[in-house]
Amino acid sequence: MGNPPVITASFAVDKGRFGDPIKVYLAAEHSTGVMKMVAVQVTQVGYGTYPTSWSYLKPQYGKKFVGYFQWNTSSPMAQMMPEWNNITMDITVIDTSGNQSKAVVLPYQFVTGAHPSPVLPAPFDQAEMERIGWIRVDLVNPYWL
């Protein structure tokens, strides 16, 4: 099947308030193929794993991209989220032949008083960082089930 895409860097803040957008920074490249989509699978303590969020890449990102995926965490399924509720985001890049990159796993915790304003690491510390796609997951408050 060939060589898979490679995620060369990733970053996201590890805590924030429920309802605030999360920017998940990702850099990936593919030396022999064309990247087609990014898959994000969210797992939440007390709830489980949500259906995968798929972001199809624009053609200009087929060989290489550096940017972020935005997740607006407000959800019609949860008016609020319990304090200290933990999630993980399992992220892979898939090419047009179905080859998958190795996954990166980013933790996140909902904390009411958190106001993250991170210092972004390279290569994400550029002035204009492009939004590559969206993460579409509607969280559920596990205590309301």
The residue among 6, 1, 49, 47 whose CA lies nearest residue 30 is 6
Distance, in Å, from the CA atom of 129 to the CA atom of 68, rounded to the nearest integer, reads: 7
Q: Answer whether residue 1 is part of any domain.
A: no
Tracing tokens 């796993």 back to the chain, one arrives at 105
Domain with 130 in it: what CATH number?
A: 2.60.40.10
Name the band, by pLDDT with cuts 50, 70 and 90, for residue 81: confident
Q: Answer whether residue 14 is part of any domain.
A: yes
- At 83, the amino acid letter reads E
Q: Are 59 and 37 in contact (CB under 8 A)?
A: no
Q: Answer whether residue 134 is part of any domain.
A: yes
Name the band, by pLDDT with cuts 50, 70 and 90, for residue 12: very high
- Which structural domain range is residue 112 located in? 6-144
Distance, in Å, from the CA atom of 5 to the CA atom of 100, rounded to the nearest integer, reads: 6
Name the band, by pLDDT with cuts 50, 70 and 90, for residue 145: low
- At 7, the amino acid letter reads I
Name the band, by pLDDT with cuts 50, 70 and 90, for residue 46: confident
Count of domains forming the chain: 1
Residues 6+ apart with CB under 8 A from 56: 36, 37, 133
Q: Answer whether residue 75 is part of any domain.
A: yes
Q: What percent of the chain has pLDDT over 90?
A: 70
Q: Answer whether residue 93 is part of any domain.
A: yes
pTM: 0.92
